[in-house]
Amino acid sequence: MSDFDIQLPNVLDPFAEDQLGAAGAIEYVHIWIRQRNGKKSLTTVQGLKESFSYEKVLKDVKKTFCCNGNVVQDKELGKVIQLQGDQRKKVADFLVQAGLAEKEQIKIHGF
């Protein structure tokens, strides 16, 4: 036998179902970009808390970034905010500054 006593730290299994439970699970805000046609793109914000008024958040974002957008009810994702153009970094900074999400909660996706 070996003289070493090896102890592995408790590591979260990324493939396990709901390890932290509903109370400890981190809810992420996902910011996606989708290419439309040519140079046109669409930024989608998904995962904001239901207690926030999506219309008021959209109004502030549109006014701040001088872009158009709308709130869409998606079958799979629920309510999402769609904005014209590539607004990923700006929206992430806006959500942190407004106190709508923590920096660790935001995941930016896209090219």
DSSP secondary structure string for all residues of 10-21: ----TTSSSSSH
In this structure, what token pair is assigned to residue 86? 């590539």
- What distance in Å separates the CA atoms of residue 29 and residue 103, rounded to the nearest whole number? 10
User: So what's the pLDDT on residue 16?
Assistant: 55
> CB of 48 within 8 A of CB of 35?
no
DSSP letter, residue 38:
T
In this structure, what token pair is assigned to residue 9? 């730290």
Tokens 């106190």: give the residue: 99
Identify the three-state secondary structure at position 26. Answer: coil
Q: Structure pTM?
A: 0.72
Point out which residues pair with 72 in neighbouring strands. 80
Confidence tier at 12 by pLDDT (50, 70, 90): low
* Domain covering 28-108 in this structure, CATH number: 3.30.780.10
Domain ranges of the chain: 28-108
DSSP letter, residue 23:
H
pLDDT in tens, 55-101: 999 999 999 999 999 999 988 888 999 999 999 999 999 999 999 99
In this structure, what token pair is assigned to residue 46? 């998904």
